[in-house]
Amino acid sequence: MAAGGEISVLAFILGLLTVGETRIEGLLESDEILAASQACRQLGATIERAGPESWRVHGVGVGGVLAPEDSLDFGRSAMSAMLMMGVVASHGVTALFDGNEHLHASAMLPVLAPLTRMGAEIVTAAAGDRLPLTLRGAVDPVPILHRLPDHGTAPARTSADLVKATVLLAGLNAPGETTVIEPQASEGPLEELFRQFGASLDVQPEGAQGRRIVLQGRPTLKPTIVTAPPPRKPSIAS
């Protein structure tokens, strides 16, 4: 998942979880990005457009997320909605996730399954745990070990990377260690961005081709400058 608009969305969310000013440059200002930035505002961030493709995010820090007064509308972006579910799941706030008809048809179970193991609760949902969906975050989130399925095809790898990022975002506000095991290694911009913000990630080999990724919870993330990579063709997660 980690390229172009996906990294920009993740940068906004990590900026939300950082105290201080995060700068995002080279930003692809799509409807997807604008929806994600609005959701970050609703959860407490102050966001301003500093110039063409340049944004500033003043976050609230890990543990400081506010309960939104209105629903979080992600348009057609399942990727943005899922990543934000990772934040809400471990912050003890309740949020209604919504979007357009395309997003209503998207399956959320791949991320909801590990998030409910961490203590999040699905309050209301459409059939099949689809949007519109109300998620209540855990007051005392539980760190978990989550094993990703084998991802032999490119679409499956995209989906697995999205689940990995969502679980790691939830793990930021869980005490102790949150662990994700990949059957096939795929380290790239996602892990680099977490580290750039000051998150502690320990990555070790697992099996013949996999990796064990261990995140230390409740860090104090640091403001940074993120330069978004060039956009790529839309993935199934967008």
Encode pLDDT of 147-203 as tens digits. 998 865 545 666 899 999 999 999 999 999 999 999 988 767 899 999 999 999 999
Distance between CA 65 and CA 16 in Å, rounded?
Answer: 8
**So what's the pLDDT on residue 64?**
98
**So what's the pLDDT on residue 187?**
62
Over residues 122-151, mean pLDDT: 96
**So what's the pLDDT on residue 3?**
53
Contact 197, 14 (CB under 8 A): yes
**pLDDT for residue 108 is more than 70:** yes
**75 confidence band (pLDDT: 50, 70, 90):** very high
How long a stretch of residues is the chain? 238
Q: What is the pTM of this model?
A: 0.93
Contact 161, 193 (CB under 8 A): no
208-230 tens-digit pLDDT: 899 999 999 999 999 999 998 76
**pLDDT for residue 116 is more than 70:** yes
Q: Which two tokens stand for residue 65?
A: 């997320």
**So what's the pLDDT on residue 235?**
40
